[in-house]
Amino acid sequence: MTIISEPQPGIPAFAALAADPEIAPLLEFDPAPRKVDRPDGWTPELQRELIARIAATGSPGEACKAIDKNLSGAKHLYRSHGAGSFRQAWKAAIALAASRKRAERAAAPRGFVDVPGTLSRGKGGAAVLMPLPGQVLNEKGEWEDEASMQQRMEDARESITGKLLRARRLYLKEISTHPARRAAFEILTDIPVDWEKAERLDPQPDEPWHRANMRQPDMVLMAQAGWIDELTTARGNKKKRQLMEDINAYRAEQGLEAVDWDEGEEELPFAQRPLPL
């Protein structure tokens, strides 16, 4: 049985949004696949309602609140494997909402009407170039289309994510011949690693939808190993020995053989570097 959200007072029903001629085409996407089908989970119907409400409000947070869902869950759904069509619909919904808001602002009556693209007098009598409808002040202090600025921000995030994931591949290749370091990475990050791919510098199974976050263990390990110099932190042998004991204690509980710290050390390009924690 699929659970359909009940419309709250003042919030339009999903059926009304789905009948909107501009919103309706956005709902013709392939829903993000879920590992477990739950009636209270992100069903295809609920995914389409989320997109419709994002298009109506321009705010994923407000859209989630309207359907009684957490924004964190929606973000996880957005980043999930196989959600490409869903992500495109999400972006299109944001763009539609921004376009409608620009049109509303352009049509809104104002007491003093500025002429877009001309100079007006600001504080102190200084000449100020007035924005065109839908423009916002960007990081350079210049007027820019809001959708354009949001797209640049998203492109920058994607670029940074790509660079971090490529740096992680280099780090995984570095430790791929060292059993102790492989075990430490898997225990600390809980990320499944294909070590054969790591040796070839190939993408890991969680790419490209993995969203790099410098607070997550895999990025911290990579940074402290020296792949991101400005975040590098040295660790001493005492900490190294303690981690080795913890790793082998864990492996013993799992019925696995202990790993030796020096095993495979000569094959590493940076053999003397202590294990980052």
Please write the tens of the pLDDT for every residue from 85-130.
Answer: 999 999 999 999 999 988 887 776 655 455 555 555 555 555 556 6
Amino acid 86: pLDDT: 96
Question: Is residue 136 one of the residues assigned to a domain?
Answer: no
Domain end marker among 202, 222, 242: 222
| Between 91 and 259, residue with greater pLDDT | 91
Same domain? For 234 and 212 the reply is no
Q: What is the dihedral of CA 42, 45, 51, 53, to 10 degrees?
A: -100
Query: Which position has the token pair 């919904």?
Result: 93
Give the amino acid at 242. Q
Question: Is residue 57 one of the residues assigned to a domain?
Answer: yes
Question: Is residue 264 one of the residues assigned to a domain?
Answer: no
Same domain? For 175 and 240 the reply is no
Amino acid 116: pLDDT: 57
Is residue 108 classed exposed, middle or buried when 0-12, 13-18 and 19+ CB atoms within 10 A define those classes?
exposed
Same domain? For 34 and 71 the reply is yes
Amino acid 50: pLDDT: 96
- Greatest mean pLDDT among 43-52, 154-163, 191-200 lies in 43-52
Question: Is residue 210 one of the residues assigned to a domain?
Answer: yes
Q: Where are the beta strands (DSSP E) in the chain?
A: 119-121, 127-129, 135-137, 143-145
Indicate whether 176 pLDDT > 70: yes
| pLDDT, average across residues 37-65 | 91
C-alpha to C-alpha distance for 238 and 234, rounded to whole angstroms:
12
- For residue 238 the two structure tokens come to 């005492």
Same domain? For 242 and 215 the reply is no
Q: How many domains does the chain have?
A: 3
Beta bridge partners, 120, equal: 128
Question: Is residue 113 one of the residues assigned to a domain?
Answer: no
Same domain? For 48 and 72 the reply is yes
Question: Is residue 116 one of the residues assigned to a domain?
Answer: no
Per-residue confidence at 274, pLDDT binned at 50, 70, 90?
Answer: very low
* pTM: predicted TM-score of the whole model, two decimal places: 0.42
Domain range for residue 150? 145-222
Q: CB–CB of 193/201 below 8 Å?
A: no
What is the three-class DSSP state of 118? coil
Q: Mention every residue, 6+ apart, whose C-beta is less than 8 A from residue 25.
A: none
Question: Is residue 84 one of the residues assigned to a domain?
Answer: yes
Same domain? For 97 and 163 the reply is no
Indicate whether 238 pLDDT > 80: no
Question: Is residue 129 one of the residues assigned to a domain?
Answer: no
Same domain? For 21 and 67 the reply is yes
| Between 147 and 226, residue with greater pLDDT | 147
Same domain? For 235 and 182 the reply is no
C-alpha to C-alpha distance for 12 and 1, rounded to whole angstroms:
23
Same domain? For 100 and 179 the reply is no
Indicate whether 200 pLDDT > 80: yes
Same domain? For 61 and 80 the reply is yes
Q: Mention every residue, 6+ apart, whose C-beta is less than 8 A from residue 235.
A: 224, 274, 275, 276, 277
C-alpha to C-alpha distance for 164 and 273, rounded to whole angstroms:
20
Same domain? For 187 and 246 the reply is no
Same domain? For 218 and 234 the reply is no
Domain end marker among 84, 104, 124: 104
Per-residue confidence at 3, pLDDT binned at 50, 70, 90?
Answer: very low
